[in-house]
Structure 1
Amino acid sequence: MPRSRTRGCVSMGRHVASSGAGSASGWFGGRWFGRGRTRALLCVGVLAALGAVGTSASWTDTASLTTGPLTGGAMDLQLQTATAGVGAVGLGTNHTEAEIAAPNLTPSESKAFAFTVRNVGNADFTYGATVTQTGTWTFTAGAITVQLFSGGAPSTDTTYPVQEACAGGTPITTAVAVTSTNTVVIPTTRALVKNTNDSLCLVVAMATSADNTNQGKQGTLKLDFTANQVTS
């Protein structure tokens, strides 16, 4: 009898007529008798087993990237007068400028001084400024005033009463009295791009109203500049 096939698989037994007990699929007389469904299941099992054996290896690779040095930039507001060197170099550094001085002032007299605000850091910034009295201050309240100008050149006056001004400058604020608390002298912050300068002019005066008790008095001014990075 020829071999039978189920969906392309060789059957694993012969068709044999049987009756009575043991006629169902199974071993009988030492031979395997299976129905068509049994042979199909056996065939599927064989194919599945053969498919599981057919695996293949895959190659892999990894890579890493190391960058160059990362460094933080710096923001540095520096100050420079017309004839003196650069001051306030470095973060939070104070600077004393002896060139800005007004000895022997009398009521209504004024002295003018040019200086430059420098942005030598790695970021654009805006800045403002306040003024206050410092050191040994013996003038009466309101006796000394200051005024800042954008640009302008100090005029020279050697006659009495000395009244120097910032010729050609644009007033940033009106003259303000120097007190023991910080008084704003740049009410609107000024923008300064990195690696650029801003030319200012300062007028220091003794008010016309300064009374007689201010004779022989003394004091020192402190101008505080604050810069803030521009982030957008």
Structure 2
Amino acid sequence: MMRHRSKNPRTGRIRALVAVCGVFGLGAVSTLAAWTDDATATATFSSGSIDLRLDGDQGNPDAYQLTSLSVDGMKPGDTTAALLPVQNKGTLPFGYRMTVGASTSNAFSQALTIAVTSGTVSGSGTAAECGGTALMGPTSIATSPVMKRTAAVAAGTSDRLCIEVALPSGADNEAQGQSTDVDLAFEATSQ
């Protein structure tokens, strides 16, 4: 015997709904199996350097000896001058400052004056003088003057300084027979 199925419209609708949900369910599963890809970016960094040299010499830890400026037996009215190239052997530009000081505090060191130009030397010995554009002084070495050069010294170039030290003609008699070292301390700062 054969059974007759009742043609209930509600049952047909339920079956249709189950079929549609199954199709949507299969679609949802297939979206999870999508293609993927990825990528990475890398950037490389390195630091630059500043390397201050005085006439090609490191000047650190031992001071560069500026013998061309040194004088024995100065008398009032004498001047001496020498060129000092401040070089940048690094990879970055820098500005710098120079602080002047004396190794002793006596009548002689207090009488000495210093001037700095960006120029040339004329004359020789105790009659040598600097020419060019004034950067500092003349001023007393005893005051520990400071010269700041904010103009950048580019990598691989140099700033030519002319250093002039004088014992003015009005120097006190007590300055006789004394000596001192004049120290020029340089400090560079990258720009």
TM-score by length of 2: 0.81
Give SS of 1:42's match: helix
Separation in 2, partners of 1:177, 1:120: 31
Please tell me the residue identity of whatever aligns with 2:91. N
Higher RCO (Cα < 8 Å, 6 or more apart):
2
Residue 183 in 1 paired to residue 145 in 2? yes
Root-mean-square deviation (CA, aligned residues, Å) is 2.6
Kept in 2, the 8 Å contact 1:139–1:219? The answer is no
* Aligned counterpart, 1:152: 120
- Out of 115, 119, 122, which is 2:88 matched to? 119
1:105 deviates by 0.7
Q: What are the within-5 Å matches in structure 2 for residues 134-153 of structure 1? A: 134=103, 136-140=104-108, 142-153=110-121
Separation in 2, partners of 1:132, 1:199: 20
Separation in 2, partners of 1:199, 1:94: 21
The 1:37/1:139 distance shift into structure 2, 3 A limit, reads farther
Identity of aligned residues (%): 27
Q: Which runs of 4+ in 1 moved over 2 A?
A: 36-39, 53-68, 70-73, 92-96, 136-142, 186-191
Kept in 2, the 8 Å contact 1:108–1:206? The answer is yes
* Aligned counterpart, 2:128: 164
Task: List alignment gaps of at least 5 residues for structure 1.
Answer: 1-12, 16-33, 81-85
* Aligned counterpart, 1:87: 57
Separation in 1, partners of 2:139, 2:86: 21
**Bigger radius of gyration, 1 or 2?**
1
* Aligned counterpart, 1:200: 161
Separation in 1, partners of 2:46, 2:62: 25
Please tell me the residue identity of whatever aligns with 1:103. D
- Out of 121, 133, 136, which is 1:173 matched to? 136
1:88 deviates by 2.2
Please tell me the residue identity of whatever aligns with 2:140. A
- Out of 14, 18, 22, which is 2:6 matched to? 14
Separation in 2, partners of 1:65, 1:190: 38
* Aligned counterpart, 1:5: none
Q: Deviations over 1:24-67 (max 9, x none)?
A: xxxxxxxxxx4x34532331122212332343333434555677
Separation in 1, partners of 2:77, 2:53: 31
Kept in 1, the 8 Å contact 2:109–2:179? The answer is no
Kept in 2, the 8 Å contact 1:138–1:217? The answer is yes
Separation in 1, partners of 2:85, 2:109: 29
More helix by share: 2
Give SS of 2:65's match: coil
Please tell me the residue identity of whatever aligns with 2:170. S
* Aligned counterpart, 2:188: 227
1:140 deviates by 4.7
Task: List alignment gaps of at least 5 residues for structure 2.
Answer: none
- Out of 146, 170, 176, which is 1:209 matched to? 170
1:182 deviates by 3.0
